[in-house]
Amino acid sequence: MDWGIKNRLSNIIKPETGRTVMLAVDHGYFLGPTTKLENARKTIEPLLPYADALMLTRGILRTSVDPEASIPIVLRVSGGASITGKDLANEGITTSIEEAVRLNVSAVALSIFVGTDYEHQTLLNLACLVNEAQPYGIPVLAVTAVGKELGKRDVRFLSLSCRIAAELGASFVKTYYCDEFEKVVESCPVPVVIAGGPKSGTELDALKMAYDAIRKGAVGVDMGRNIWQSPCPIPMIKAVKAVVHEKASPEEAHEVFKKNK
C-alpha cells in the first residue's frame, strides 16, 4: 500500500489498538437539519476530544469546525439527492480531489447503492474516486448505503456490497451490523467499520451492537445518531470508546456511561 494512504489511514484507525471511533455528522447532506444537528457546531465541538476522526461534508467542516482542531477528517464527497426527492440513491460526486487536498483530509467517503437503479452510477463513482484519490495518497471510504430500505441490511446484501466496494479499490468500508456479521468481515479484504443506524432504544442496545461488531471483526464504528441524539452525548462517546479501544463489555461500558452522566 502507498505510504500516504497508509499514513492517512493510521490517522483514523489508531495503530495502538488497530481500531477507530469515527464520529459521523454528515447526515445533513440528504436529511437537512437532522435532530440535534440543527446547530452542527454546538453538537460537534464538545465531542471532538473523544473522537478519532470526524465524517462530514465540506460545508459543515468549513462553517462548524475550527481549522485548528487536530481531528482527522473523513470528507463526504457524494450527494445530490434529498429525503424528499425521487430516489436517494441518485448520487454523484460533489467535491473535487483538489478540494479534499486543500482541506487536508485523511480520507474521502462516498455511498454506493448496490441493487438499485443507480447501482452502476454509484459504483462507477467509487471507481473514479479511487482513481482520482490514489495519486494523492488519499484513502477512500465506501459506505454501503441502503437509502430508505433499512430491511436490506442482511448478511447476503451487506457481504455483496462490501466485497464489491473492496474490489473496486475502497481502502475501507462502512456498513451496517447484521446477524452473521463475521461473514461480512471475512469476505471483505479491507477494514470494515459499522454505522450506528437510527437511534437505538437504549444506550446499552447501541453499546451491545458496537461490542458484537468488534467481536466479529469490525475495526470500529462510524457512529452518529446513537451518540449525539443521546441525552448524554459525551458519556455515550466515552462508553463507545471503552468498547472499541479498551475491550470493555457492553455492561462495563454502560457503567462508564452512567458514571459520566
Residues at the site binding ligand 5RP, with contacts judged by CB under 6 A:
24, 26-27, 55, 111, 143, 145, 195-197, 222-226
Cell numbers found for residue 217:
471483526
- The residue whose grid cell reads 455483496 is 160
The nearer residue to ligand 5RP, 5 or 112, going by C-beta atoms, is 112
Report in angstroms how near the CB of residue 135 gets to ligand 5RP at its nearest: 25
Report in angstroms how near the CB of residue 153 gets to ligand 5RP at its nearest: 11
Residues 6+ apart with CB under 8 A from 187: 159, 162, 163
The nearer residue to ligand 5RP, 55 or 77, going by C-beta atoms, is 55
Give the single-character DSSP code of 88: T
Neighbours of 236 (CB within 10 A): 26
Does the annotation count 174 as an active-site position? yes
Burial class (CB in 10 A: 0-12, 13-18, 19+), 183: middle
The nearer residue to ligand 5RP, 5 or 142, going by C-beta atoms, is 142
Q: Using DSSP bridges, classify how beta strands 73-76 and 53-56 pair: parallel, antiparallel or unpaired.
A: parallel
* Choice among 14, 174, 199, 208 that is catalytic: 174
What are the distances in angstroms from CA 35 to CA 22, 50, 217, 228, 259? 19, 21, 31, 9, 26
Question: How wide is the angle at C-alpha 156 spanned by C-alphas 83 and 227, nearest 5°?
Answer: 50
In the chain the beta strands, taken as DSSP E runs, fall at 20-24, 53-56, 73-76, 78-79, 92-93, 107-112, 140-144, 172-175, 192-195, 220-223
Read off the amino acid at residue 161: S
The nearer residue to ligand 5RP, 113 or 254, going by C-beta atoms, is 113
Using an 8 Å Cβ cutoff, are 55 and 74 in contact?
Answer: yes
The nearer residue to ligand 5RP, 95 or 226, going by C-beta atoms, is 226
Report in angstroms how near the CB of residue 53 gets to ligand 5RP at its nearest: 12
The radius of gyration computed from the CA coordinates of the chain, to the nearest angstrom, equals 17
- The residue whose grid cell reads 471532538 is 48
Report in angstroms how near the CB of residue 198 gets to ligand 5RP at its nearest: 7
Report in angstroms how near the CB of residue 57 gets to ligand 5RP at its nearest: 10
The nearer residue to ligand 5RP, 3 or 198, going by C-beta atoms, is 198
Report in angstroms how near the CB of residue 17 gets to ligand 5RP at its nearest: 20
Which residues are the active-site residues? 174
